[in-house]
Structure 1
């Protein structure tokens, strides 16, 4: 007997990488923990030239397949060169090294993935001609005139739960056809594994409904909210005292430009200072302030401990890159204090 393993990886498309996958038929005497390396044509994924095209897939995280069921699995893979070193597009490997370096600080992440459904070339819920009613009632709304795509969202939520993804919630967002799911809490590497897998499931399940999902940070120009990937983070010290909260905000501010450059392509279109964003050229933090770069939740200010929310990352960001960068910035500052 056999089972099916869907090998999933991140390609080399720029400026925003895409997900790729293919199916391997595996003998059932091979356990899910012993899945072999595999290969692919990197010249077709922007990861190799045609005259030296072989790339390697290394399984790093395995999830039950909620679509095929049975013993079938979804396999998150790192991309390696044929000498078994990380491929230049492999952002997971670098984050794993950072996470190991600062393991004693016990960094946790919770990421809020916003996305937008499209059908027939326009956002789901937008009329054929013109625009829907202005923003205001769509966020966490209910009713067919306010919410679009709930059947896809519910199917995605169930699939994530069945797959063992650390999904912690969903909600309708500010623009019609725009939604959010949250992943975490999890460590810097794990949160990336789970978020990328949740994205793959979103795209795959939306196929069944004839709908596409996009993480474009500004899917509709004009007076409409963009799509972000707000990133909540805490270390052990932050979860115990408020001084560490402020120190983390200050550390992020000291490297603001470096972070913004790594927070997703098109960030200038989304971080304008409007639509609950801070200008991408400025850094700020504040309690309960969704117009700041980094928000300190009001309950954290009351409890004098907890976490912070970096509101700058785009919906199209690479969670490995963002989690690694934030971990390195906050933890290196704490280690040097």
Structure 2
């Protein structure tokens, strides 16, 4: 099989340039705000990559957002703007908590996340196929429905009787083993990498993957080729639901120390939205998402060191992170907009 080196080199170079620009813009803002950018970035990279602990925390932070990025990326390859990963994560986490407390094993937790993800993503899929509802509108609204419905379930149905600040916990028998003791890195990271590899295989080595890509590139041409666009839409949402549902499940089963949903869903909120940026930085490609997920994990893991060692307040850390993320995501966003305009 011939590999298109130029096809990989161009987006890689564009992303690297965007990373450099984002870092430079962040450095300028830090300097104007009275902080030493060299010290700040040194602390960030040292905290995220300078030790075994730093690497472990980086990979741990990357684990769930790689999966939610696959949800958005699979949608983008099909010509959809699926931003419903956020709500799907909530129900994947809840399903894993309930099923592992009933059956007490990892497989049931993963299965629960998958089923919950497919079920929740089926709603915007059916609305799109049978009623023509734009997926951006439906998924945004359903994210809020999911948020408040999940809060109700967490508070009313599965609270921890010994600690009202969190839900019931994943039992010991259903928790992923920790790879490096004293860190949050578990074998859940392997699930995310395997999922990305499976997504790559589906997209480029199966009939359904070919149909998804053709439909996303040019729906009219896909129709002439005998491809059913309704079928590709449903498959895209189903695969996306599996990924985000798994994200919620493995976050519960592989994140010490609580292995539960905390008050206000603080420990699972935002993963779906972060996944959009990760996917755009990875150019909506499953293999690119692995590396962009690690890059985002580095930014998250190094934030604490940036505050402690360089004295940069949390708000400024988030400003710098946001600037880097937006800058790096621009090339992928432009690709997506070009595809929309072409359609």
Structure 2-normalised TM-score?
A: 0.26
Structure 1-normalised TM-score?
A: 0.26
**Larger strand proportion, structure 1 or 2?**
1
Higher RCO structure (Cα 8 Å, ≥6 apart): 2
